[in-house]
Structure 1
């Protein structure tokens, strides 16, 4: 994928955020404030100090909005859903350097809440993906018992499993065993 580091990082953050949802087949990765803090630290979300119950409920709602973008049946629906998400966000682009990272753009307004920060940065990254005509890279795992989402970064857009070591390997082994029985 010909996208810069910041966009790839933001898309990976969006994937991880969505995959913390019980709707993707696992436990709630944002079950409490400790889970939210772990997410913020794992993705090095800048400018986040104290987290409260309001942050947790807002980020959970944002997670579900991003999930709806990933699972949109077509690009037009994804655009509508992403525009709805972005319309609720104050976007104020500015160049910044911090924490050893090179010059990059932040899209969230100064003093924004964690939810607005994530909605702006992750939403703009997804918007760029749609503008580049790469909507089909937003995928849901093809394994029958997995609902996790991912961004297909393969050159030929052929990835179908969220993780080749788990779902991909499991499905390939099952296909191999089925062929051997036949």
Structure 2
């Protein structure tokens, strides 16, 4: 399944946001939030204050539920997010950054609201495409990170927190030890 670029980016940033809450948490300061926003290119109004950070952190926990719920639960949460934040889809373009894509909330809305709506709109595409199985939890035994598997063959097993490399090294060492 090929998703539109804005859907792919929203899914990747949503998984990254959820993973900032996996121990050790990596989103706890205003500086961390600035880095996150810059990394994922969120546009629009910013407050740059503790309330904005608190809103994003509260949303992080709510979005994590998308990896835990069945299809009906995901649809319920997505519909709740869209209604609560008064989504109003519009096609927009940001010169030099994005081509045509979908915004569903005003650029003056609080950052957490914009992230919530962008995430919900991306999940609409996932649900409508029957692709919920692309939302997974990292297979590393000591990790609770989440994955959005956008690979063609649906083979992604580990999150972006270094688990794939760590598990490969562990398997290599296990093979070397076994051979004596």
| TM-score range normalised by the length of the shorter chain | 0.7 to 0.9
Cα deviation per residue 1:64-92 (whole Å; 9 max; x = unaligned)? Answer: 110111232x3223223333333311111
Aligned to 2:74: 78
CA distance in 1, matches of 2:85, 2:119: 11
TM-score by length of 2: 0.87
Instruction: Map residues 1-182 of structure 1 onto 2, 5 A cutoff.
Output: 1-21=1-21, 24-27=22-25, 29-72=26-69, 74-100=70-96, 101-163=98-160, 166-180=162-176, 181=178
Cα deviation per residue 1:126-166 (whole Å; 9 max; x = unaligned)? Answer: 12111110001011100011111111112222221114x93
TM-aligned CA distance change 1:110 to 1:172, over 3 Å: closer
Structure 1: runs of 5+ lacking an equivalent: none
Secondary structure of the residue aligned to 1:91 is coil
CA RMSD of aligned residues (A): 2.0
User: Do 1:65 and 1:85's aligned partners in 2 also have CA atoms closer than 8 Å?
Assistant: no
CA distance in 2, matches of 1:13, 1:86: 18
Structure 2: runs of 5+ lacking an equivalent: none
By relative contact order (CA 8 Å, sep 6+), the higher-ranking structure is 2
Secondary structure of the residue aligned to 1:150 is strand
TM-score by length of 1: 0.86
Secondary structure of the residue aligned to 2:93 is strand
CA distance in 2, matches of 1:25, 1:103: 36
CA distance in 2, matches of 1:96, 1:63: 26
- The count of aligned residue pairs is 177
User: Do 1:71 and 1:140's aligned partners in 2 also have CA atoms closer than 8 Å?
Assistant: no
CA distance in 2, matches of 1:15, 1:108: 20
User: Do 1:90 and 1:116's aligned partners in 2 also have CA atoms closer than 8 Å?
Assistant: no
Structure 1 position 178, deviation (Å): 3.5
